[in-house]
Amino acid sequence: MSVRVRRIYQSPEPEDGVRVLVDRLWPRGLSKEVAHVDEWPKGLTPSDELRRWFHAGGTYEEFTRRYEAELAAPAAADLLDGLRTSVREGPVTLLTASKTPDESHATVLARLLSG
């Protein structure tokens, strides 16, 4: 099945399938009714420390390495396995408020779920 990444501010589309918010914080200015989020597994989001490090000028390559290490922790790995089950059952759209979703944690998750 397919996994795609979209900004949460984009309108939902029928081909989104299960819509999963992968940000730790709820996006500003967006109601839950408008967002149409099906799941919000906060345990899959980057730690606050990692987020701060990346936004302070860390490289995307190093961010990816550190984030994958966080996802290998037992609690996160269990959540990731649950999301893999959703992917096998139908399309999944990972939603983020990131202005650059192609260089965000959502893209790292999409790659891990697709592989």
Give me the residues paired with residue 4 across strands: 93
Q: Which domain holds residue 103?
A: 3-114
pTM of the model: 0.93
Residue 1: is its pLDDT beyond 70?
no
CB burial of residue 89 (10 Å; 0-12, 13-18, 19+): exposed
- Summarised one tens digit per residue, pLDDT across range 57-85 is 999 999 999 999 999 999 999 999 999 99
Q: What is the mean pLDDT of residues 12-41?
A: 95
Band the pLDDT of 112: cuts 50, 70, 90. Answer: very high
Average pLDDT over every residue of 26-51: 94
pLDDT of residue 67: 97
Helical (H) or strand (E) element with 3: strand 3-7
Q: How far is the C-alpha of 65 from the C-alpha of 99, rounded, in Å?
A: 21
User: How many Cβ atoms are within 10 Å of 63's Cβ, its own excluded?
Assistant: 20
Confidence band of 43 (pLDDT split at 50, 70, 90): very high
**What mean pLDDT comes out for the span 85-90?**
93
Cβ atoms 30, 8 nearer than 8 A? yes
For 11, other C-beta atoms within 10 Å of its C-beta total 8
How many separate domains does the chain show?
1
User: pLDDT digits over 10-26, tens only?
Assistant: 999 999 999 999 999 99
User: How many angstroms separate the CA atoms of 54 and 9, rounded?
Assistant: 22
Conformational region of residue 51, where left means phi above 0, alpha means psi within -120 to 50, and beta covers everything else? alpha
